[in-house]
Structure 1
Amino acid sequence: MTRKLDAVDREIVDRLALDARTSNSQIAEDLGVSEGTVRARIKRMEAEKQIRITAVTNIDRFQSATLAYIWIEAERTDQARGIAEVLSGIPELGFVGVMLGRSDILAITMVKNTEHLAQFVHNRISCIPGVRSTESTLGVNFVKHDYRMARIVS
């Protein structure tokens, strides 16, 4: 059974989001709890798939790659979730979400250039059964990119 995160869990996650290399003992000291409490809570949250501790690439450092947003329309709205599941199996896609509004699905990836994007969309996305159309946009100047945007807000 997955437990709901309490205030201590959220504080642990907030500290790890800033720097995942922060030691359990430092977090414990900051929060006024034992190191064992922090260790056990992190272990539980990982086991329950509430958090995953991983390295995140800094897109500002990629000089030969551009972030591409691929908006996908399904032939029928009820196909969106199935198409998104297929897309989620494509390793080059870093984000796949069923959306409300402009398009049925948004997929995000990194590409080398517009030709690379066109080939990727044509060869990997447009051929998926149920995909009616795609529209792609490229990020050109990121004013803010907070890799922690997926942190827990409630």
Structure 2
Amino acid sequence: MTSVHGSWRSRVRGTTLMLAVALATAACTFTPPDRPLLITPPAAVNSATLDQYRIAVARRILDRNPSYVLQGTLQPMLRSLVVVSFTVDRDGQVLQSAVYRTNGDDEAESTALATLRRASPLPQPPARLLNTHGQVELFEDWLFNDNGKFQLREFASPQAQTID
């Protein structure tokens, strides 16, 4: 029985010690650091800036091509999704553009590239987004309904859920 009582006493002492440490810690005052705990890394700042620039570019494309823009809901089964890659210089000029991904709809591809050209010059990109050549490379998605009108991914409405 001595070993049982000894073991029991050990547990009581251990529990008492943990309780004492917890009480002592709770009685301490906590002084917050002088600087914020959350530090935003430079890459996150550039990411936020890139997102803002992408929105400005999409807005420019839509504003310059109102007759091609789909108002309302995208149909559940899109006619086409055209992804265009393009490079913009520090002045907002589109230096090059190409279809990056497509389902092979030549008319939709031509429309996407033409609407990008009509929107040029684009807003000037923030200097911190420019690469060593003074350019920024972007991608944008044109989502086409059967009627040939599109929405850009940046401003796309949710697609319809049922096929009529």
Q: TM-score, normalised by structure 2?
A: 0.21
Q: TM-score, normalised by structure 1?
A: 0.22
Query: Which one has a bigger Cα radius of gyration?
Result: 2
| Greater relative contact order (CA < 8 Å, ≥ 6 in sequence) | 2
